Chains A and B, each alone.
Chain A
Amino acid sequence: MTAGVLAPPEAPVVSRKPLLALAAGLVMPGLGHLYTGDAVRGACFLLGVALAVPIAARLALHLPAPALCFVLFAGGVAAVTLYVYSAKEAYRRARRMPATALRPWQRPGVYLLYAVGAAVFVLAPLTGGVRDGVLETFVVPSASMTPTVLPGDRILADKTVGRRGGTRLWRGALAVFISPNDRALVYIKRVIALPGDRVDIDGGEVRVNGRALRMEGGEAGPIAREQGDRGPYTVRPGTAPDAAAVHLTVPDGTVYVLGDNRGTSLDSRRFGTVPLADVKGVARQVWFSIGKGGEYGSGVRWGRIGRLLQ
């Protein structure tokens, strides 16, 4: 009659240490909840942290262009907030919960497996996927794209180019692509002509399909404006000393690119057309900019943060 009452419980009954729950929650989102026995809630927090930036990145591409870097940053802040909140909630939960019997999976080995698995199979693929297929940042070290892009600019590039449902290239787009001469290098240049277009470059004058790109009379000066498919952009006209005249039709599957700083840029005039498959993205916005002195200034260039690239 009394055997059932006196028998020891099958699983040990323990209280959860709040500080350990907090530490576990900081080590990996959701681990604190796993420690307190609420695996489902922990998994929700992990997914929330992992998906905040990818969702913000995809959303940002569909919002007005100036919002791009700010929406992306908001996604990052949301992820961090959720991360800290999950750790705090695990702490509070551990503090309030009575001693309970441990579940079979509440073991150190399972916690370790969760932390590693969450990093390798959830966070890394989801956040890495943003860089691979949605948005990626690049640092611009050279002046070949001045005055549009300055040395020290950190730019956000739309990487959905060429993908199903993604952005399509246009004349005037700032393409980020793998250098045809050295595949270890990534360049940023302006797309002047698309496959099938006729390109004629003679001195400083660029004509595409027989139409001069230069606007407003075409007088050569320090700064000039050219017309692209999506509006005008600014270039620094010039001719490389050894540049020969160019007359060609852009082959299928390639684009013709020029640097905005025409006098110094290493571009299609030297290495020919660029395969579309090597175009990694289209530069959309400057999200941060810091100069290292000289002509383009030093320190953080606050005025360039959020500047649209066109």
Chain B
Amino acid sequence: MHPCNETQEKIAAGQRLSAEDQRHAAACARCAAVAASYSLLDATLETFAPRVPDGFADGVMALVAAEAAVPEGGTARTVGRGQRMLRWFERPPVQLIVANAAALCAVFNVAWFVMRVFLADVALGGTP
């Protein structure tokens, strides 16, 4: 391989240059320019140091725990605290109670609001 190519690949990969490569890079204008540009890039990236928010690790671990708790074959894409708080709803007796209560509400709404016009509150008076 051409010494320039070999040297520039090592520079791009961030590998340590041998003494021979260092001498070549110092003597070769093209390789020196590549080395300079990568040095500049590294220095710039340093200014973008990642800032991890507080509690991020705990949050990730909670999500992992929630995912692990999904029953096998389950379809829930459980993420977050709200969803975990409603896990009780997965229990069949609770579902039955909620379904019946909702059906009762529906019957009440239909009778009280929708069909109320047919329900007479007033019985007409008059002679017996």
Contact = CB atoms under 8 A, between A and B. Distances in A.
A188 B124 contact: yes
A193 B115 CA distance: 35
A154 B52 contact: no
B69 interface: no
Interface in B43-84: 45, 48, 50-53, 56, 59-60, 76-83
A20 interface: yes
Interface residues of A, number: 70
A8 B106 contact: no
A123 B118 CA distance: 15
B30 interface: no
Nearest to A128: B116
B22 interface: no
A82 B113 CA distance: 14
Given A49-B114, A187-B125, A259-B127, A99 B120 contact: no
A61 interface: no
Contacts of B79: 12-15, 99
Interface stretch (B8-16, B33-41, B95-103): B95-103
A138 B118 CA distance: 9
Contacts of B45: 1
Contacts of A189: 126
A78 B85 CA distance: 37
Contacts of A123: 109, 113
Contact of B116 (A87, A127, A259, A288): A127
B126 A145 contact: yes
Contacts of B99: 19, 22-23
Nearest to A177: B124
B128 interface: yes
Contact of B124 (A26, A84, A135, A176): A176
B113 A12 contact: no
B126 A259 contact: yes
B19 interface: no
Main secondary structure of the interface of A (DSSP, over half): mixed
B29 interface: no
A265 B125 contact: no
| Chain B: interface size category | 35 or more
B58 to A, nearest CB: 10
Given A28-B109, A99-B79, A141 B126 contact: yes
Contacts of B126: 140-142, 144-145, 187-189, 259, 265-266
B17 to A, nearest CB: 26
B102 A23 contact: yes
Given A142-B125, A142-B126, A17 B89 contact: yes
Contacts of A26: 102-103, 105-106
A23 B86 CA distance: 14
B116 A83 contact: no
Max chain B Cβ within 10 angstroms of own Cβ: one of A6, A23, A143, A259: A23
Contacts of B51: 3
Output the residue of A128, A136, A288 with the most chain B CB within 10 A: A136
A216 B81 CA distance: 84
Given A12-B80, A186-B125, 16 more contacts: A2-B50, A6-B56, A7-B56, A8-B60, A19-B95, A53-B114, A53-B117, A123-B109, A127-B113, A130-B117, A137-B118, A139-B120, A141-B126, A143-B128, A187-B125, A266-B126
20 contacts: A1-B45, A8-B53, A8-B60, A14-B79, A15-B78, A22-B99, A23-B101, A26-B102, A26-B103, A76-B114, A76-B115, A76-B117, A76-B118, A80-B110, A80-B114, A119-B113, A124-B113, A142-B126, A145-B126, A187-B124
Interface of B: 45, 48, 50-53, 56, 59-60, 76-83, 86, 89, 95, 98-99, 101-103, 105-106, 109-110, 113-120, 122-128
